[in-house]
Structures are given as C-alpha cells and as structure tokens.
Amino acid sequence: MTRPTKEDRKKYDIDFAGDLKFGLGMEDEVIAMFKDKKIEVKSEKGMWQRTGNIAVEYESWGKPSGINATESDYWFHNLCINGDIYATLVFKTETLRKIVDSLDFIKTVKGGDHNASKMYLVNIKKLFSSDVIKAYKGVAEMQQENKSDEDNLEQCNDCNESFCEDCINECNYCENYFCITCDELEYISSTGKEEDYENDSDRMFCINCIKNNYSKIAPWDK
C-alpha cells in the first residue's frame, strides 16, 4: 500500500476543511428552518407507495390553496407508512413552486372533503430527474441574483427605506446614506472654487452636516 505524500495529505486536509465548512453551513440552515422560518407540513398516508406520486394541493373550493397560497418559507412533505413517517421531503417553498411550474406534463386530481380540492400529482422519481434539477438550478441562480441585488441596496438614514445606488447618496461628512426624496445632498468644494469639482466631486453633504459642521466642511469660507 502506497503511503500518501505530504502534498496528498495537504490536499486531503483542504478537501476535508471545505467539506466540514459546507456541512456546518447546511447544519445551520436546517436549524434556522425550525427557529426563524415558517413551515408548511403535508403528509401522504400510503398511496405514494403504490403510485410513486405525491399530491401537492393548489386549489380548494375554487380558491388558491396549498402551494398557491401558503406564506411558508419551507414545505415539508411527509411520506408515511402505517401512520408513521418513513421519510420527509423538504423544499424551499418558492423552489417547489418553480419545480411544479417547470414540469412539461403534470396530472391533476381532486380530493379532500367533498372532492373540493385540486392537487398536482408529482412523481417522486421525476423530482430527481435531470430536467427538474436544471429547473432547480435556474431557481437557485435567480435567488442568488436577488440576494446580490439586496446586498447592493443601502438604507436611507431618514426614512429607513432601502434603495439602489442610483437613488441614494452618501454624505461625505457623517457617511450616512440619504435617498433623493429625503435629502438630495449639496456639493461643497474643498477650496471654494467650482473648477475643483472634478477633483473632489464626492464632496456631497447632508443638510444636518452643513448646518452643524459647516466650518469644518468649508474652512475656507470665513
């Protein structure tokens, strides 16, 4: 048996550290499901064993219900055998919506009290097919883009609303952000000469800083 080289051991350590970090991150996400998130729980009694399908309700008594109405963050779908939970499928609710919408063919059935509910029948194997996984990746990319957009937002110091960089400005003195509705900010030259604008165009100040700290902002103006 060949012993691993020093370089091999370094690679294994790096891989293990990466896997450990990933695992801990997923552990935190699962903990967050039960701590800070809303969960919708649905259970299949036993039909899923014979048909290989799960039923996802979307309408009841002519009104949106289930997947089309829930405000949950996560959707837990229990697969039961003889009244006991055999396994649980866990989805981010928005992801499950997108997956259902992406299926090229989906069967619907009626059920519930007085057959007033309508449900999508989703094949369990289909959930792990390549086309559904592609749809999930599309959702994940969209969610990442939305997160990136949110990360680029700044909060106005006055109204506390969040805005993109085109609708908000930073005061050069207090370093707080203000939307153009609350405070358009005012340019004040570092020398008192307008021709210096190109060199200090970031010298924009909020009303309060100009009022309370003008002597420091424009010491040349005496």
Same domain as 124, residue 54: yes
Q: Are residues 92 and 188 in the same domain?
A: no
Residue 12: pLDDT above 50?
A: no
Tokens of 110: 């009626």
136-176 pLDDT, tens per residue? 776 556 555 555 555 567 788 888 888 777 778 888 899 88
**Domain containing 62: what range?**
37-150
DSSP 2: P
Instruction: Specify the pTM.
Output: 0.53
Please report whether residue 66 resides in a domain.
Answer: yes
Give me the pLDDT at residue 167, please.
Answer: 78
What local confidence, expressed as pLDDT, does residue 17 receive? 52
CB 180 within 8 A of CB 167: yes
Higher pLDDT, 214 or 32: 214
Of 212 and 194, the structure prediction assigns the larger pLDDT to: 212
* pLDDT of the residue at 84: 94
Residue ending a domain, choose from 101, 120, 150 = 150
Considering the domain architecture, whether residues 137 and 117 belong to the same structural domain is answered as yes
Dihedrals phi, psi of 145, to nearest 5 degrees: -65, -40
**Contact (Cβ atoms closer than 8 angstroms) between residue 161 and residue 155:** yes
- 87 and 124: one domain? yes
| 143 three-state secondary structure | helix
Query: Per-residue pLDDT tens for 48-60?
Result: 999 999 999 999 9
**Co-location of 177 and 80 in the same domain:** no
Report residue 7's pLDDT band, with 50, 70 and 90 as the boundaries: low
pLDDT at 162: 80
The answer to whether residue 31 is domain-embedded is no
* Domain contains 186: yes
Say if residue 212 is in the same domain as residue 131: no
Assigned domain for 82 exists: yes
Same domain for 143 and 183, yes or no, is no
Same domain, 207 and 139: no
C-alpha to C-alpha distance for 173 and 153, rounded to whole angstroms? 20
Do residue 42 and residue 146 come from a single domain?
A: yes
pLDDT value at residue 93 = 93
16 has a pLDDT exceeding 70: no
Residue 12 lies in a domain: no
Tokens 């350590």 sit on residue? 13
Distance (Å, rounded) from C-alpha 126 to C-alpha 128?
5
Contacts for 37 with CB less than 8 Å, ≥ 6 apart: 72, 73, 74
Is residue 102 located within the same domain as residue 169?
no
Calculate the CA dihedral of residues 202, 203, 205, 210 and round it to 10 degrees. Answer: 180
Q: Is there a single domain that holds both residue 69 and residue 137?
A: yes
The per-residue pLDDT for 202 is 75
Residue 90 resides in a domain = yes
Identify whether residues 100 and 205 lie together within a single domain.
Answer: no
- Catalogue the long-range contacts made by 204-207 (C-beta closer than 8 Å, 24 or more residues apart): 204/169, 204/170, 204/171, 204/172, 205/171, 205/172, 205/173, 206/157, 206/171, 206/173, 206/174, 206/176, 206/178, 207/183
| Residue 98 backbone phi and psi in degrees, to 5 | -65, -40
Q: Is 66 in contact with 56 (CB distance < 8 Å)?
A: yes
Say if 29 falls within a structural domain: no
- Domains held by the chain: number: 2
